Structure 1
Amino acid sequence: MFNTPIWGPAMTDLLKLENVETFYGRVMAIRGVSLSVLEGKIVSIMGSNGAGKTTILKTISGALDPFKGSIKLDGNEISSQDPDVVARMGVAHVPEGREVFSLLSVRDNLMLGAYCRRDRGAVQQDFEKVLGWFPDLRSFIDKQAAYLSGGQQQMLALGRAFMQKPRLMLLDEPSLGLSPRLIGEIFDIIKHINREEGVTMLLVEQNAAVALETCDFGYVMETGRIVMEGDRDRLLASENIQEFYLGVKDEGVREERRWKGKKTWR
């Protein structure tokens, strides 16, 4: 297991989990997980189905209560807080499956994201930003979200979360069910929101190639535990990651991946 890198003296933990355990009924889905998300960074959690990735996000956002452990946002304990309290503290959760309000218009879905905001002028500016990022949404602005394709619904869910003006965005499988072209578009906007808008990201993603191309630091989970961690380049250089998550078995191909990662993915 790799040690968390030091990004610099100005970097601080925006989110920190220590020894968190969460149950689904009688099943322990999260087993003593500790992780941190540095402010301004994109951190990914990778792993197969059932590893516990979604449970972590639900525990952070308040949808599930942890059995034990500590969850701190900017040094403040938020474990077992109700989801609306966590949201008001600056955490936006984009759940797996999008979960847009299908009977409401695209406009109303976006504005619901800004429900707790009082800076109305800035809300309108952010509304226009979202439509600039996702022009497809403008075409459906006054139509029910049910008429959107899966990719457009993912755009809407991401835009709705941004309208909350969050400090931290929790993204659960944003590539799920999307074509490679749409995945590229969605992740370009995710990186833009992080770099240009200053929103910290915790990304859960089964597509390890996409996650590693996007993140600064990553964790790998198996059966509720973190089994590996490291910055992007270290994970890309790991033979276990290359073989089991990127599908690379040939040593020559692995070496090419290492070179490509150092050259283009910094």
Structure 2
Amino acid sequence: MSTDAGENVVLQIDNLESYYGPIMAIRGVSLKVLQGQIVTVLGANGAGKTTLLKTISGVMDPEKGTVKLAGTDIQSMEPDAIVRRGIVHVPEGREIFPLLTVAENISMGAYTRKDRGTIAADEEMVYSYFPILKDRRTQRAGTLSGGQQQMLAIGRGLMSRPRLMLLDEPSLGLSPLLTQEIFEIIVRLNKEQKVTMMLVEQNAKVALDAADYGYVMELGRIVMNDSAAILAASKDIQEFYLGVSQDENQRGQRRWKQRKTWR
């Protein structure tokens, strides 16, 4: 994948292949994430989305291909070194520390940092986005609701001051109302804290509403990519990911043409 002059590329992946045992889970994937973007990767279960994030963050080793963070190859680095380089992975299922308090979980997110004097200010920043966590900071994390645990996982990730935050299925197991709340906070963090994000998500509507750019994976391959707005308008995306049939899409297009005529 070529890089256009003047683009500030945070993450660039070229011809990536990863395996689960003998099974190829990622098949020649190439993509990039620009500074300040929210990029979403859509796809059904088994498409390879989670494997992709695990390969980026060093949890899995790629068989082939390159992963570059700000121009530096990281595909052979250990996960802790990748965190220190600036990638934080908020995994599927949150994976908080259930026996630690909320405050202790938040503090754990800063374990790689050496600027100890600014950590308290960043903790307050996290609590400003997730005030319920401040109210429950002495509570064991395992007793939180699913939505609160997702907030905690994101807050813990923010404490490393990431160049790139990887979010794996942030809406998993959440009600539509909580999903909307989580994604509103994701967008705010991107705009206000300038956090570049790459998220994988089965809820295509909320993901495309939040994202600047999107990729669609099927069976380990990228089969479609474009701006989020163009993907959301695609007939294939509407039918297979947004639950809009071709007939409904055609009726919607006719109604849109009629409204334009009325104007």
* TM-score bucket (shorter structure): over 0.9
Gaps spanning 5+ residues in structure 2: where? 258-263
**Structure 1 204/107 Cα, relative in aligned 2: closer, same or farther at 3 Å?**
same
CA distance in 1, matches of 2:255, 2:105: 41
Partner of 2:232: 236
Q: Among 245, 249, 252, which residue is 1:251 paired with?
A: 249
Structure 1: which amino acid aligns with 2:175? Answer: S
Q: Among 139, 146, 158, which residue is 1:143 paired with?
A: 139
**Structure 1 255/123 Cα, relative in aligned 2: closer, same or farther at 3 Å?**
farther
CA distance in 2, matches of 1:5, 1:174: 29
Point out the structure with max Rg over C-alpha.
Answer: 2
Structure 2: which amino acid aligns with 1:19? Answer: N
Q: Among 3, 18, 21, which residue is 1:22 paired with?
A: 18
Q: Which moved more, 1:111-120 or 1:162-171?
A: 111-120
Asked if 2 retains the 8 angstrom alpha-carbon contact of 1:4 and 1:230, the reply is no
Asked if 2 retains the 8 angstrom alpha-carbon contact of 1:40 and 1:194, the reply is yes
The offset of 1:80, in angstroms, is 2.3
Asked if 1:191 is matched to 2:216, the reply is no
For residues 73-115 of structure 1, the C-alpha deviation after alignment (integer angstroms, 9 at most, x for no partner) is 0000000211000000000100000000001111110000011
Partner of 1:91: 87
Q: Among 77, 85, 103, which residue is 1:81 paired with?
A: 77
Asked if 1:155 is matched to 2:141, the reply is no
Structure 1: which amino acid aligns with 2:239? Answer: E
**Structure 1 258/70 Cα, relative in aligned 2: closer, same or farther at 3 Å?**
farther
CA distance in 1, matches of 2:231, 2:185: 23
The offset of 1:251, in angstroms, is 2.7
Q: CA RMSD in A?
A: 2.0
Gaps spanning 5+ residues in structure 1: where? 260-266
SS of residue paired to 1:36: strand
CA distance in 2, matches of 1:211, 1:4: 26
Task: Give TM-score scaled by structure 1 length.
Answer: 0.91
Q: Map residues 106-145 of structure 1 onto 2, 5 A cutoff.
A: 106-145=102-141
Partner of 1:226: 222
Q: Which moved more, 1:84-93 or 1:111-120?
A: 111-120
Partner of 1:200: 196
CA distance in 1, matches of 2:41, 2:104: 31
Structure 2: which amino acid aligns with 1:100? Answer: I
CA distance in 2, matches of 1:105, 1:256: 55
SS of residue paired to 2:65: strand
CA distance in 1, matches of 2:256, 2:17: 35
The offset of 1:252, in angstroms, is 4.6
Task: Give TM-score scaled by structure 2 length.
Answer: 0.92
For residues 106-152 of structure 1, the C-alpha deviation after alignment (integer angstroms, 9 at most, x for no partner) is 11100000111122232111101111111211122112111101110
Q: Map residues 161-176 of structure 1 onto 2, 5 A cutoff.
A: 161-176=157-172
Structure 1: which amino acid aligns with 2:15? Answer: N
Percentage identity across paired residues of the two chains: 56
